[in-house]
Amino acid sequence: MDQPWKASSKLSELLESSKMHMTYADRVIWIDLLARTRGTQSAEMYFNGLQESDKTREAYGVLLHCYCRAKKLDKALELFGKMKELDYTSTWGYNSLASLFLGTMPEQIPLLVQEMEQKKLNADIATYDLLILSYGAQKDFGACEKVLEDMQKKDVKCEWTIYASLAAIYAYAGIHSKAAEFIHKMEMENACDRNYFHNLLGLYKDMKDVSGVYRTWNALKSIFPIPNNDDYLLMMCILSELSSLENLETWFKSWESGQFFEYDVRITNVVLEAYLLRDMIQKAKAFYKSMVAKGYDPNLRTMELLTRIYMKNYQIKPALKYLEMGSAMVTREQDQWFPQPETIKIFLEYFEGREDWDRAEKFCNILKKLKKIPS
């Protein structure tokens, strides 16, 4: 299980086993915890087991949010329809649904916002942000900026997140002059939270502006003198793409030797993947061995990378070993991405034209266990 949710999972178990009285607010938190630690099905079962009087507007809202976060479109639409019948819709509910639509049906978001306005629900910053992103996904740049104009007409304070979204849209479209304009506006906000700096780092990465990346890193450190693992993770992901391998290795050593070092497998995976992408298979293997020697625990992503590393040279035996180890780690709804389609494709290419029946059968059995193919 990912580090941030270990404590939440433990808390959920303690709450469940205790006989303490739960308030309406407790139940809302509990539904969210269940979805995060045990999957949306567990959250749904708990919600369905509540008395009707306990199924408050907030309880419906958090379950909808859980469905949207897990990209359960049919479930989300069905529940949202029920919420409309009960007059339980809210700005948060519409925003949750809009965030789900953003990846697949961005053209539906303006219609959602219109419907929201008809219900006299006030748009918030998240609503405007999603509306801008929906137009950006459709490459309607004029509509993006019209949202900004409408906000100004309504005296809605434009937060840095809006400028960040506009900058990202233009950077992705390759219109770097406009992206730079909104990055400048974003920087003028002088925000002091980590999300702000992380967004700024990502924007300079998209612009391939290495000097901007380093300048933002120094600005972050002026506010947060001791960078945390999330800071290092983002910076090293960016350097893996924009800088040299030697520079990435230097940053890894700097992180590992830090005064308040706390191991984070996500960061070691960045280096492991960097070796893989550069076809430096022997270095990747040696790096993983050094991880194990230091007592570092791998995660599911590590198993995916190791499987790929060994399949690069068609070393089928160790590749199957790590694939099987990874399959044993798939315990949550969020883990069902493993293995990635590209990894499966590499195995299929290996078995094509080879009479390696025993290992082919083992591969199929692993996929059956993971429900990737019918049993």
Query: pLDDT tens, 322-348?
Result: 999 999 999 877 788 999 999 999 999
Distance between CA atoms of residues 67 and 74, nearest Å: 9
Residue 162 DSSP SS3: helix
Give the pLDDT score at 4. Answer: 46
Distance between CA atoms of residues 346 and 352, nearest Å: 10
Confidence of residue 13 (pLDDT cuts 50, 70, 90): low
Global pTM value: 0.85
H/E stretch holding 66: helix 57-69
DSSP string for 5-32: GHHHHHHHHHHHHS-----HHHHHHHHH
Cα–Cα separations (whole angstroms), residue 25 to 68, 95, 259: 20, 20, 40
Residues 6+ apart with CB under 8 A from 1: 9, 37, 331, 332
- Check: CB of residue 200 under 8 Å from CB of residue 215: no
Residues 6+ apart with CB under 8 A from 312: 276, 279, 281
Q: How many CB atoms lie within 10 A of CB 17?
A: 8
Residue 143 exposed, middle or buried by CB count within 10 Å (0-12, 13-18, 19+): middle
Cα–Cα separations (whole angstroms), residue 278 to 41, 136, 159, 271: 40, 33, 40, 11
Helices and strands, counts by H and E, the chain = 21, 0
Give the pLDDT score at 199. Answer: 98
Q: How many Cα atoms within 13 Å fall on the side-chain side of residue 237?
A: 15
Residue 12 confidence (pLDDT) above 70:
no
- Check: CB of residue 266 under 8 Å from CB of residue 233: yes
Give the pLDDT score at 54. Answer: 92
Q: How many CB atoms lie within 10 A of CB 214?
A: 15
Distance between CA atoms of residues 248 and 274, nearest Å: 9
Distance between CA atoms of residues 7 and 115, nearest Å: 39
Residue that the structure tokens 């520079």 belong to: 247
Task: Report the percentage of the chain scoring pLDDT > 70.
Answer: 94
Q: How many Cα atoms within 13 Å fall on the side-chain side of residue 64?
A: 28
Give the pLDDT score at 244. Answer: 94
The answer to whether the peptide bond before residue 339 is cis (omega within 30 degrees of 0) is yes
Instruction: Kindly state the average pLDDT of the residues 274-281.
Output: 95
Give me the count of residues in the chain: 375
Q: Please tell me the least confidently modeled range out of 22-26, 215-219, 301-305.
A: 22-26
Strand residues in 235-291 grouped as ranges (E): none
Q: Say how many Å lie between the first and final Cα of the chain, rounded.
A: 27
Confidence of residue 190 (pLDDT cuts 50, 70, 90): confident
Instruction: Kindly state the average pLDDT of the residues 311-324.
Output: 94
- Check: CB of residue 144 under 8 Å from CB of residue 162: no
